[in-house]
Structure 1
Amino acid sequence: MRFIALWLSGIIIAVFALQQIFSTEPFLLINELKWIEPWRLITSVFAHGSPAHLLNNLFALALFGLILEGRIGARRILWLFITAGILVNIFSPYARSLGASGAIYAILGALVALRPGMVIYIHYLPMPMLIAGIVWLSQDIFGIFYPSSTANIAHISGLFMGVAAGLYWRKQFGDKIEKKSKKIKDHVLETQLDEWEKTHMLRK
């Protein structure tokens, strides 16, 4: 299956539609219920708290997901997204949480390992993906000490999981990881990243 990031985006949209028809509560990760109702470990990854939360995460998933898919293929990115999303939720310290941000940060982490020199823009400044990863990590570490609705620990966990997976694939396959989808430019537009930076996994 090609363009797995777009398929995942479609599922996220469908889940959000169900949230509007029924309720968010059945999809929400509730910490004290995650072993009693383990499906919440995955449903919460696809659920979102608002249209803005949804659209920003969809944008990030499509943009960075397609770039990563072009590097490692659809099956590996699907494995990374699902595995990171579940593991982030297993170790989540938050009472309630939802959103794909932890899984998306895993995608970013994999790109840090596999495409460290890829140029992106942070606050209108061009920088290699490796430096961008350090900036994101620093922001989330700082955010831990100033609590907000942002699940900083989930971001950090996802980022490290992605880096670990990316380093493994780089060591295991090296240059043998061939592009398996259409060629995608490894240059992210300034306005695109600026919009994405506004997204956060919501925490209640």
Structure 2
Amino acid sequence: MKSTLILIAACIFAFVLQTAVQGFTDAFILDSAAVWSRPWTLLTAVFLHADLLHLGYNMIALFFFGAILESIVGARIFLLLFFIAGLDASFASLFFYEQSLGASGAVYGLIGALAVLRPKLTAFALGVPMPMIVVAGVYLILDILGVFYPTNIANAAHIAGLFVGALAGLLLRRKFPEPKRRKSEKALSDKEIQEWEKEWMKNA
């Protein structure tokens, strides 16, 4: 959770500087025409955002998905994955957009990793609860459509982040397997359900 909050704080601080310091965004945004003379922008652009709504949406997603993933893999692997996914998303953006910014590609990397590591975990997509693997699938389909029907959203960056996150999840599955319920726990749970059903029928 600590590393997740640090990343959120860094993005908020960067947005404050974007608002307060003239030319700050231009100095650190990813520009495909100037990237080889300013290679640091492949990373710095991850912490910049276009407006308050863009920042808010990404930070909410980072908070929920990031906190869960960090609790599973630990701070070091979580941060490594965030930055790798962010860089991968930036490289993908070079082929599709003149300029890009935002943490969404990195966040999609976290979503991809979670979808592989905890596919049955319940999360929300478009306000609807569904398994994590389905969440990733829904976002992937929407972003593929977005590539063919362009908007102001960096769909290609999202797809790149999602795939590198999923690949990382595959590599980490053995190290961080899904916890299995003990038979005794399952039996207790089933018994509790049966008792609840009997009580409900009695009072119905």
Same structural fold, with TM-score higher than 0.5 when normalized by the shorter chain = yes
- The CA deviation at 1:124 is 4.1
Give me the whole-angstrom Cα distance separating, in 2, the residues matched to 1:5 and 1:87: 19
What is the distance in 1 between the residues matched to 2:124 and 2:59? Answer: 19
Contact in 1 for aligned 2:73/2:176 (Cα 8 Å): no
- CA contact 2:72–2:176 (8 Å) conserved in 1: no
Distance 1:88 1:125 in 2: 26
In 2 relative to 1, CA 176–13 (structure 1 residues): closer, same or farther, beyond 3 Å? Answer: same
SS of 1:127's equivalent in the other structure is strand
Partner secondary structure for residue 173 of structure 2: helix
Give the aligned partner of residue 30 of structure 1. 31
Q: Distance in 1 between matches of 2:154 and 2:102?
A: 10
Moved over 2 A (4+): 121-126, 174-177
Q: Please give the secondary structure, in 2, of the residue aligned with 1:33.
A: coil
Structure number with the higher helix fraction is 2
Residue by residue over 1:13-33, the C-alpha shift from the partner in whole angstroms, topping out at 9 and shown as x without a partner, is 111111112231112100011
Give the C-alpha shift of residue 75 in structure 1. Answer: 0.5
Q: 2-side partners of 1:118 and 1:176: how far apart?
A: 10
- Report the number of matched residues: 175
More contact order relative to length (CA 8 Å, sep ≥ 6): 1
Structure 2 unmatched runs, 5+: 180-204
Gaps of 5+ in 1: 178-204
| 1:151 matched to 2:154 | yes
TM-score, L = length of structure 2 = 0.82
Aligned partner of 1:140 in structure 2 is: 143
Q: Which residue of 2 aligns with 1:109?
A: 112
| Largest Rg, 1 or 2 | 2
Structure 2 Cα separation of the partners of residues 96 and 110 of structure 1: 27
Overall identity of the aligned pairs, in %: 43
Quote the Cα distance in structure 2 between the aligned partners of 1:119 and 1:59.
16
Equivalent in the alignment of 1:195: none
AA aligned to 1:162 is G
User: What amino acid is the match of 2:54?
Assistant: H
Corresponding residue for residue 15 of structure 1: 14
**Distance (Å, rounded) in 2 between the aligned partners of 1:122 and 1:150:** 17
TM-align CA RMSD: 1.6
Name the structure 2 match of 1:60. Answer: 61
* TM-score for the superposition, normalised by structure 1: 0.82
Contact preservation (8 Å) 2:113, 2:166: yes
